[in-house]
Structure 1
Amino acid sequence: MTAAAPPRERGPAIPDPAPAPRGARRGSARRPGQLGWLFSVPALIIGLLFTVGPLIIIVMFSFMSRPAQGGGVIYDFTLDPYVSFLFQTDFVGNTTFDPRYLTVFGDSLWQALVTTIVCLVLSFPLALWMATRTEKLQNFLVLIVTIPFWTNLLVRTYAWMLILNDNGIINNASKALGFGKLEMLYTPFASQLGLIYTFLPFMVLPIYSALAGFDFRLAEAAYDLGAKKMTVLRRVILPIATPGIISGVLLVFMPAFGSYVQPVLLGGGKVLLIGNLIASQFGDARNWPFGAALSVIILIMLMIALMAIALYSRKSGRKVEIAL
């Protein structure tokens, strides 16, 4: 006969979970400090009214007709605002290709492209140097970079007008050195300089944010293994900084493309960019549908850029955030 197995020791009894309250659904339990979706309704309403609402109005206006006199729109659907971007119809009714607005777009693209390239060339070494400093010094350098945001853009632009005018610091130094007076204010150069100054922090901060968490001991290890400086920069550091570079390029290129203040104040109105053209359509020309159509075209370009960045992020596996 086999001996009976000894009885197993039982652990402490586990109490049954408390019954869920009547009417509660599965997955509806909130974590401590979590609020319900009803608390977000006011913010959603404000966002829809002041963000999505104006965009919808602009898109609707771009398909409306222009009144015979004065500003505003007539609620008759038409594609004339978009057709007039590329074609012009004379009094007889003949339609011909008109490249004037394409030229404005080309000038805007060129200034935005130059601004982006110069900001990238200046920002990458600065952001890399900032990321290799001590934590205390990094915080101080970030503070220095963000100081321009504390002052209104108009004030900073007027300061550049004082620097670049005939009696400014640069011209006084040029005269003292015997080079004579330099014509800088109210020129394309002044407008370009104002754009670079304005959007430089928008390139520095994303690149620095991408490099700040990088362990630079990996770069030292690459040096120890015999890699050259350019190889380390290209194979180790640049891939880490790529998301920040892409974010900075978009944050600089699109605002610079539609910029208004710098071409007007520093360029003296001699530099006609897309931002000035849109403002003139809503102001002097009182052609609201065409101004809205130009705004929609810029919006479409921005959406294409965002879609391209999302596609790159998905294929490369690198998370790209459009944020400072």
Structure 2
Amino acid sequence: MTTLTEAPAPVEERAPERKPRRNFTPWALLLPGLLWLTVFFLVPILTSVSASVQTGNYDDGFKLTWHFANYKDALTKFGPQYYHSLVYSLLTTVFCLALAYPVAYFIAFKGGRWKTLLMALVIVPSFTSFLIRTIAWKTILADNGSVVHALNDLHLLKITTALGWTVGNHVLASPAAVVCGMVYNFLPFTILPLYTSLEKIDPRLHEAGADLYCGPFQTWRRVTLPLSMPGVIGGTLLTFIPAVGDYINAQLLGNPNTTVVGQRIEDLFLRQSDGYPVGSAMSVVMMVGTLVIVMTYIWRAGTEDLL
């Protein structure tokens, strides 16, 4: 008996696999931003780092000699200026947060149809020159102004003078004047992130808190504040970072005892022929110090709050 064997099934021919084509569109879209960051961020930083280890003067030129003693001078000779910059910027951040939170809260939950107008009123002063806004505080805090008269009537200047924040019956040319000017100039940077964060909170959550027998303060502490933390962190960072490098307020509203790092860097760059390397070293120290403070703050606050 013969057996029939089945014919082998034909082997299907597979088409050769095609390599996926690379899509360069995302890189093309990123190119302008990368060029901008390279030219206006990376190159200046590298230039400052290079200049910080140079020696020479404007007449003979500067040479890269890896003179790291410039950093020693930057750290040891300007201690009061670093202290002033740090203290003024921290006080500015705290006062801005204390003032901005109620304003942002009111606009977000009580503003109603006037929200846009109220936010415009917050932003409009920023359209004026930073310099003009700072000079205006010379008039506001003048000795014959209503602010100083009110402080004298309340006997508050005696307290601030004892603390070293004012000088006698004068507010101008004092640390208090410097901080006032900084708070005014940087307050919108705190309000905007806070308003954005608070505006996203569902008002029904407040009603739920009241239904659970929480008072207004408990509702704010347990519901509103945790949900608004991204705005708190963003606002404080946007305030502290520019405030720590500001020197216009200290120069116009302060005195020789309120000098900050920016003023000393300006002096070294513009008024001393051999001060460019030390001034660059101070700039690098300020950048690194600010970066360490900001990264520590973000780490302690929790990076998830920034999302």
Q: TM-score range by the shorter chain?
A: 0.7 to 0.9
Counterpart of 2:276, as a letter, is W
The answer to whether residue 31 in structure 2 is matched with residue 25 in structure 1 is no
Partners of 2:180 and 2:152 in 1: CA distance: 21
What is the match of residue 69 of structure 2? 80
CA distance in 1 between partners of 2:184 and 2:280 (Å): 29
Q: Determine the structure 1 residue equivalent to 2:6.
A: none
- Structure 1 counterpart of 2:139, which letter? L
Aligned partner of 2:249 in structure 1 is: 262
CA–CA separation in structure 1 for the residues paired with 2:282 and 2:22: 47
Given that residues 109 and 257 in structure 1 are in contact (C-alpha distance below 8 angstroms), is that contact kept between their aligned partners in structure 2?
A: yes
- Which digits, 9 at most, give the CA deviation of each residue in 1:2-53, with x for residues without a partner? xxxxxxxxxxxxxxxxxxxxx983463x9xxxx5633553453333212221
**Which amino acid is 1:291 matched to?**
G
2:270 equivalent to 1:293: no
Q: Distance in 1 between matches of 2:60 and 2:202?
A: 58
Tell which has more relative contact order, 1 or 2 (C-alpha 8 A, sep 6+).
Answer: 2
User: Any stretches of 5+ residues in structure 1 without a counterpart?
Assistant: 1-22, 87-97
Change (3 A) 1:250 1:71: farther
Determine the C-alpha separation between the residues in 1 that align with 2:291 and 2:112: 37
Distance 1:174 1:42, change over 3 A: closer
Q: Relative to structure 1, is the Cα distance of residues 298 and 194 closer, same or farther in structure 2, using a 3 angstrom cutoff?
A: same
143-152 vs 251-260, which moves further: 251-260
Q: How far 1:201 moved relative to its partner? A: 1.0
Specify every segment of 5 or more residues in structure 2 that has no aligned partner in the other structure, as ranges: 1-17, 157-167
8 Å contact 1:157–1:265 — kept in the other structure?
A: yes
1 CA distance for matches of 2:89 and 2:234? 15
| Cα distance change on mapping 1:176 and 1:226 into 2, 3 Å | closer
Q: Residue 104 of structure 2 contacts residue 194 of structure 2 at CA under 8 Å; is this kept in 1?
A: yes
**CA 1:237/1:175 → structure 2, altered by over 3 Å: closer, same or farther?**
closer
Q: 1:54 aligns with which of 44, 47, 52?
A: 44
Range 206-215 or range 41-50, more displaced: 41-50
Runs of 4+ in 1 over 4 A off after TM superposition: 69-72, 171-177
Report the TM-score, using the length of structure 2 for normalisation.
0.80
Residue 303 of structure 1 pairs with residue 291 of structure 2: yes
Normalised TM-score (structure 1): 0.76
Rounded Cα–Cα distance in structure 2 between residues aligned with 1:104 and 1:174: 28
Matched, 1:227 2:222: no
Deviation at 1:301, TM superposition (A): 2.2
Cα distance in structure 2, aligned partners of 1:165 and 1:277 = 26
Residue correspondence of structure 1 range 97-176 to structure 2 within 5 A: 98=76, 100-134=77-111, 136-170=113-147
Deviation at 1:227, TM superposition (A): 1.5
Give 1 or 2: higher helix fraction.
2
> Cα offset for 1:271?
1.4
Q: Relative to 1, partners in 2 of residues 1:149 and 1:76: Cα closer, same or farther, differing over 3 Å?
A: same
Structure 2 match to 1:10: none
CA contact (8 A) 1:59 1:293 kept: yes
Question: 1:110–1:173: structure 2 CA closer, same or farther, 3 Å change rule?
Answer: closer
Compute the displacement of 1:136 (Å): 2.9
The equivalent position to 2:54 in structure 1, one of 37, 43, 64, is 64
Count of aligned pairs: 279
The alpha-carbon distance between structure 1 residues 176 and 222, as it changes in their structure 2 partners (threshold 3 A), is closer
- The Cα RMSD (Å) is 3.1
Give the distance between the partners of 1:311 and 1:171, measured in 2 at CA.
42
Matched, 1:239 2:226: yes
Distance in 2 of aligned mates of 1:279 and 1:259: 12
